[in-house]
Amino acid sequence: MSKKKKEKEEIKEEETIEPVEAESEETEGETAEEEKPLTLEDQLAAAQAEAAKNLDGWMRAQAEFANARKRMEKQRVETYQNATASVAAKLLPIIDDFERALDNVPAEIAENSWLEGVQMIQRKLAGILDGLNVAAIEAVGQPFDPMFHEAIMQEATDAFESGVVSKELQKGYQIGDKVIRPSLVYVAE
């Protein structure tokens, strides 16, 4: 008996589905009869609208690609500049030590060939910084600028106007507009 019940239920399901399908076919037929065939002008206008839409999408994609390329190039330059600044920052203390040593050479070894070798090493290190486009920051005689100078103290002096760097204790360096290390300075009162 259970098999008969199942068969009856399946038959009932099929009957309920068929009228729905029949109705949908009738509505499709009615809409097809109600729609008028498109004229050539309508088809042309639709094709032109689609072409304009496609052209606009293509132009937007091109612009996005160009912007992405510019963004990647900018990131590459910044990454190179940051890496160069990092290497240069590690070399600066060595260059400072050479400059201090050469500024305080005793008179008895001033003519020694060994000193010329040390001076050559210092010049080579300076040449490496030049090759990396690292430049010393002008300090003495320049107006104090906190972007380029770090003030240690103010001093009273007649040689410079107030707010002008009067003495440099440690050179500052920069690559382009990026400061690697600010100059340590005294500022005139």
Q: 174 in helix, strand or coil?
A: strand
Question: How is residue 158 annotated by DSSP?
Answer: S
* Mean pLDDT of all residues belonging to the chain: 85
The residue with tokens 């990026």 is 178
Q: 45 in helix, strand or coil?
A: helix
Using pLDDT thresholds of 50, 70 and 90, give the confidence band for residue 20: very low
- Check pLDDT > 60 for residue 30: no
pLDDT in tens, 36-88: 788 999 999 999 999 999 999 999 999 999 999 999 999 999 998 899 999 99
- Return phi, psi of residue 188, to 5°: -70, 140
pLDDT at 76: 96
**Which residues on adjacent β-strands are paired with residue 155?**
188
The residue with tokens 């070798």 is 117
pLDDT at 11: 56
pLDDT in tens, 80-126: 889 999 999 999 999 999 999 998 888 888 888 889 889 999 999 99
Taking the chain, what is the end-to-end CA distance rounded to the nearest angstrom? 112
